[in-house]
Amino acid sequence: METELSRELGIEHAIFGFTPFPAVAAAISRAGGFGVLGAVRYTDPQELARDLDRLDELADGKPYGLDVVMPAKKVEGVTEADVEAMIPDAHRGFVQELLTRYGVPGLAEGEASGWRITGWMEEVARGQLDVAFDHPIKLLANALGSPPADVIERAHAHGILVAALAGSAEHARRHAAAGIDVVVAQGYEAGGHTGEIGSMVLVPEVVEAAAPLPVLAAGGIGSGEQAAAGLALGAEGVWLGSLWLTTEEADLHSAALTRKLLAAGSGDTVRSRALTGKPARQLRTAWTDAWDDPAGPGTLPMPLQGLLVAEAVSRIQKYEVGELLGTPVGQIVGRMTSERSVQQVVDDLTRGFERAVTRINRIAGRSAT
């Protein structure tokens, strides 16, 4: 699975694996792919520094990248406390009523919420970058469009490629104009924040709009055959996220959540604003149903929703409240039926890719090479 982009980055397979777990990112890189560590959960730059040190050790010198959530436009002088003050009391009451209805215990006295979506904030994201540029990352990806121009310049000065996610051809054109190096075409099927266009339609549109920039296909890819389809549509590689959640190296801290993922089918996800305020695909639960119910107060815009539900999500995860327990995940969850090592996943992907190429060559009357 070599492409021009994979050769530029020095990896064996054009498989890019997004994950919040350093051990998974390192294992993807060791297996010949390209691990990308998600940074949004790191509110403390020193915690990120420790995990990047660990990733450096585990990756055995193999290249890897970092994914941040950084808005292109800067908002001056706004603190987390300022944003918290904007949350209506009615929404706080709705959260409390849900937690009471399902018997979710509170956190211990003095225990802080372990789940915070604050990596979107300017000062947090820039603190992450200050740490990241002290490590040998080879790719910086941004999940909220193109990062600010000075960040792109700084990354390029360190010899780091910059990638940005796109849910439409227009997004891709804006990325190209901003000086991005790689565009990730993320289809409707993907987990987490995603747009409304399916991958089969989106990938070739983005390839055309972003040309000559390389494009990675994302969303609904969980097999080598699907990876081959992405490359056949013009992509230079595939970007996978959900598939790594049930690997042996993943650290979900919840056996109940792992069981839910392994049991879920491709129709058991929903694109909801319940988690962050932006449409994000996740497991459908009583939590998402309550927020999507027209009788409720409705979700708040990002970042208010993420701050509103942070403690509640921590409590649900800590006490493994089954009816409410969920996580961002794509429709490919239906293929995630057993726990496997990262190496096994990569081996399955490459074997499936070879099968697809052999089949197409046979249909075309050519011998596989």
Q: Report pLDDT digits (tens) over 322-337.
A: 999 999 999 999 999 9
Q: If pLDDT is split at 50, 70 and 90, which confidence band does 74 have?
A: low
Of 189, 155, 178, give the one whose Cα is nearest residue 67: 155
Residue 76: per-residue pLDDT: 56
Residue 78: per-residue pLDDT: 62
The vertex-290 CA angle with 285 and 291, nearest 5°, equals 105
What is d(CA 67, CA 16) in angstroms, rounded to the nearest whole number?
A: 12
Residue 83: per-residue pLDDT: 77
Question: Quick check: 201 pLDDT over 70?
Answer: yes
What is d(CA 234, CA 161) in angstroms, rounded to the nearest whole number?
A: 20
Query: Contact, 279 vs 271, CB < 8 A?
Result: yes
Give 340's DSSP letter.
Answer: B
Of 52-61, 116-125, 174-183, 217-226, the range with the lowest mean pLDDT is 116-125
Encoding tokens for residue 186? 């993320």
pLDDT tens for residues 19-33?
999 999 999 999 999
Question: Quick check: 244 pLDDT over 90?
Answer: yes
Question: Quick check: 116 pLDDT over 60?
Answer: no
| Residues near 69 by beta carbon (within 8 Å), at least 6 away in sequence | 39, 40, 119, 120, 125, 142, 143, 144
For the beta carbon of residue 288, count every other beta carbon within 10 angstroms. 21
- Ramachandran sector of residue 32 (left: φ over 0; alpha: ψ -120 to 50; beta: rest): left
For the beta carbon of residue 48, count every other beta carbon within 10 angstroms. 24
The mean of the pLDDT values for the chain is 92
Question: Quick check: 144 pLDDT over 70?
Answer: yes
Encoding tokens for residue 69? 């959530």
Residue 368: per-residue pLDDT: 52
Strand order in the sheet with 269-272: 192-193, 280-283, 269-272
pLDDT tens for residues 153-198?
999 999 999 999 999 999 999 999 999 999 999 999 999 999 999 9
What is the mean pLDDT of the segment spanning 83-105?
94
What is the mean pLDDT of the segment spanning 303-311?
89
Question: Quick check: 367 pLDDT over 90?
Answer: no
Q: What percent of the chain has pLDDT over 70?
A: 93
Encoding tokens for residue 116? 């915070």
Tokens 């009816």 correspond to 323
Strands (E), the chain: 15-19, 34-38, 64-68, 139-142, 161-166, 182-186, 192-193, 215-218, 237-240, 269-272, 280-283
Q: Which has more pLDDT, 276 or 76?
A: 276
